[in-house]
Amino acid sequence: MSVTTLSTTPQRIDDVSAVTECTAAGTEPLAVDEATRRAALLKALADPVRLQLLSIITGSPGQEACVCDMTELVDVAQPTVSHHLKVLVDAGILTRHRRGNWAWFRLDAERVAEVRGFLA
C-alpha cells in the first residue's frame, strides 16, 4: 500500500513582477446611510415579478401601464401585483396616478437615472 503525503510548506513566488499592490487601500467606502438607501432601492428591484412589471411598463405606449392590464400578463394574482407595484412606488421607482377606478404606473426617470449612475 502506498501512502502519499502532502507538502504543507507554502509555495514560493519567484517572479516578483507577478505580485501587485492592493489598490483599494486609499478608497473611501460609501457612507452607511447612502449604502443603506442604495441597498433598499436595489432590494425593491430584486424580484422577478417586479422586473416583469417594469418591463411591461417600459414596453407600453408612453411608458405607462394600468394595473388592470399588468395583472393579465404576469402569473400572479391581482393582490400580489398590487403589492409589488406598491413596493416599487414606495422605493420611488414608479409613480402612480388614478384614472377613474384604475391606477396607472409610470417609471420615475430621475430615480432610474440614479440607479444607472451608481451602478456605472
Higher pLDDT, 40 or 3: 40
Determine the pLDDT at residue 120: 86
pLDDT at 14 over 70: no
Determine the pLDDT at residue 1: 57
Domains and CATH numbers, the chain: 49-120 (1.10.10.10)
In angstroms, the CA 88 to CA 106 distance is 10
Q: What is the mean pLDDT of residues 32-55?
A: 95
CA atoms within 13 A on the CB side of 108: 16
What's the whole-model pTM score?
0.74
The 10s digit of each residue's pLDDT in 51-84 is 999 999 999 998 999 998 898 899 899 999 999 9
